[in-house]
Amino acid sequence: MYWEEQAAESHKASLCLRYLVNNSPMHGENSIITLLSEIYYEWRDFMLMGAPVTSTYLLESFIIYDILALKIPASVYKSCCCCSIPLIPRGVKVGVELNNHRRKEAILSENVPHLLSPRIEAIGEPVRDRYNFNNAKTPKITGRVFVYQVLIESAMAIIPDVLALVAPSPDYDVMKRFTMPTQHGPRAAIAVTTEASKVLQSLYTLLLKMIVIQIWYLIVLAGIAISANPKKTRSHNISIANVIIWNAQASPLDIVKLMLKYIAHISLFAVLWAFLAALAWAASIVLSLVVSPDLIIGQAAPVSLSAIYVPQFSSSTGTSSYSLRVNELATPSNLRAIGQADNLTANANVVVGKPISTTDPSSGVQIIQVDYSYGLTGVEFGLQNATELQLNVSGSCITDYGWFYGDDDSTDILIDVYLKFGLGPFVNVSTADGGPPLCTAYLGPAPAPSNSNTTYGLVASTMTRKSFTAGTDPWYLTAPLNESDQYGAGYAVLRQRPVLSCWQSDIWRYGNQQRSIGELDQLNALPLSLVTVFQRFLSVPRIVNLVQALGTTALKSATGSQGFYFDAQTSNLHDDLQRLVLGAYAATRNTLQETTQFSKQYDDITNLVLGADGNPLPGTDNFVIYTTDVSALSIPMLITVPLIAFLLLGLVFLLTTSFPCYAWSWGYVEALKAAVLYSALDSEDGRNDNWDRTTATPFYKGGKGEGGKIKEAPAHVRPKFDRTRRTLSWHKPHVDVVDVESHDHEGDEPAAMESIEQVVETPKGDKQQ
């Protein structure tokens, strides 16, 4: 509370700064300089004492600095060594030099030049002068370097990102192994943030490409080892093709392009390698596109055990308001469910049949029946170890005029009286129910514990609601108004509207067994703690609790109403029931997810899943939280892909490397590398030369000259392109052996060059010296 009061006072002070700057003297005991200096030091002391830092406070401090920079002469500036913020020592006044500072801050006298401003680089001075107080232009200043402003600002910028990465939400855990429920069964997974999953997916895409490339390298090694075997005779074109393939193996697409140019010369050989290279290139792309998405198997994370809270429905203290407060805690979850229902469309999981309309022959009233059903699996519930569990819900509602008992107009309020289920007690529907159409749900007689069939009724309060259009639906049947309406409405809903008499059957299936909600524990699919949770929320049709919690927002007709006015023509009980069924489906699906969302504001409402020792019951956290903020990564894929990639990488390295203790019989393939070929071409006679070719990366050894200096001859061959004949060749320059230190400078050319063919034909002893 102390910090809040101090922050409020500082905020008020900052609002007065501009007024004070424009209306206070710059000099004297009551100057604006002295005032703002005190404000600044109060803020600094406030931070140093450990006050919580807020962005508002930080902003106010920088507002102070900006005002000071505009209004206070440069003679009272002191530069901050890590940022462009002017700071004022306590008690400093223009033209006055003080020596009794209790914190021993640096004192600036009036003769401090203007170049000491933190923004000196703007007038052409080097930026380094800002941090160097020992140069000729600025006096030496000793004192405390104020750096905490920048540290606070930096921390405030990165702390939210770090917290989001480490603990995105207290409702679930990340970087923890769990079992991810999927349509193909439970899978081992680990949860990470969505941002981290994107980075990992990109990395694994590269690893998958590397796997294909390493397999391609092995194919090339095997093929070239057979084709280039020195014991077999090969044609010139096949030999050069072997060189091309071996040197271009890192790019299969390049091999395809190069082999297509040899089809006319070595058709079968070129087509075969072009096909294999194209297959490798396509596989690297397809594997990345098809397999990489399998890394992310869903957007879920294991629930945090400490976040689970299930309000106990029955009161141990006997307070009269207990049930009302429990219902209050459940209202937000029902609102979320109906909000999701408005975004849902008819799907395979939810079916609301078309209304079946008939006419009662005795009374002539319209009878409408609507059937509905929906199903959920353990995957949708988020159950980690019971993905095969199923809940099948089916029900039906029909208009029932038998509930109506009579009317009571003895007061100014019009009342229609109904008898629940024809048995009692009485239920009243009146003009005092409020503006929008209202629905109320009532449970039927309690069934036997083993019975999965439950009856309930829906009573709609729509009587005398006004409409600008006529309605024909039993709930919204209208008649013309006898008197004109001030807003122009011409119709009103008739009284004695029927109720919807409904039944619902909930069947839980696991394997070959099926049970009611009361016998759920007999399926042996769930721990007792989760059985308790399901029985707490699903013992009665979920649609009943939904209607009771939503009140005037339950019916679809009420969503577009304005007080007592609504559109009767487009309103019907089928659409109302469909909205409620979709909401019940969403609420049922969210049963476990919502256990982390209940408010814990009432201490006397105990947690249903806590044992007698105060600890959560075993198995309470055996479900996941579905959220788009995290991703579940497949643990087998996390391990398998890099393992295969690096095993193949090691295998390729092993099979293509000659070791001092052992050399592979196919080591001759390394002689096809361009570097080895060049070293052979560059040798003077092809046999006795100074090239070291013990590896696939040959190097020129040279020799020792006078004084121990290395003597090295220029390259014997150089590339040449004949632009006239459009031919490529190598030429051999004739230069003497020279000292390395006196070698031709860059850009120098030898005096004479001959083609390789000419050099070969010229006797060695007749060479130009």
Tokens of 81: 């060594």
Band (749; pLDDT cuts 50, 70, 90) = very low
Q: Is 512 exposed, middle or buried (0-12, 13-18, 19+ CB in 10 A)?
A: exposed
d(CA 129, CA 122) in angstroms, rounded, equals 12
Instruction: Spell out the domain ranges in the chain.
Output: 2-153, 169-303+623-670, 335-461+497-517+528-599, 673-766
What DSSP designation does 696 have? S
Cα separation, 500 vs 520, whole angstroms: 29
Q: What is the pLDDT of residues 581-632, one digit of tens each?
A: 999 999 999 999 999 999 999 888 889 999 988 899 999 999 999 999 999 9
Among 315-319, 558-562, 732-736, 739-743, the least confident range: 739-743
- Burial group, residue 103, by CB count within 10 angstroms (0-12, 13-18, 19+): exposed
Angle at 318 between CA 315 and CA 320, to 5 degrees: 100
The string of pLDDT tens digits covering residues 347-369 is 668 999 999 999 988 888 999 99
573-589 and 542-550 helices, crossing angle to 10°: 110
Give the position of tokens 């030999």: 239
pLDDT band at residue 332 using 50, 70 and 90 as cut-offs: very high
Q: How confident is the model at residue 673 (pLDDT cuts 50, 70, 90)?
A: confident
Give the pLDDT score at 604.
85
Handedness of CA 651, 655, 658, 662 (dihedral sign): positive
pLDDT for 501-551, tens place per residue?
A: 999 999 999 999 999 999 999 999 999 999 999 999 999 999 999 999 998
Amino acid at 47: M
Give the pTM: 0.69
* Least confident residue range of 2-11, 301-310, 323-332, 663-672: 2-11
Which is it for the CA torsion 125, 131, 132, 136, positive or negative? positive
CA distance 768 to 527: 96
Residue 232: burial class (beta carbons within 10 Å; 0-12, 13-18, 19+): exposed
* CB-CB contact of 717 with 682 (8 Å): yes
For 293, residues 6+ apart whose C-beta sits below 8 A from its C-beta are 201
For residue 582, what are its two tokens?
């979709």
Position 278 pLDDT exceeds 90: yes
Task: Report whether 365 contacts 359 (CB < 8 A).
Answer: yes
* Confidence at residue 686, expressed as pLDDT on a 0 to 100 scale: 54
Average pLDDT over residues 652-672: 84
Q: Which residue is associated with the tokens 């060479």?
A: 767
SS3 call for 364:
coil
Angle between helices 148-166 and 55-71 (to 10 degrees): 150
Report the C-alpha gap between 591 and 392 in whole angstroms: 15
Parallel, antiparallel or unpaired: strands 565-566 and 466-467? parallel
Residue 685 has pLDDT above 70, yes or no: no
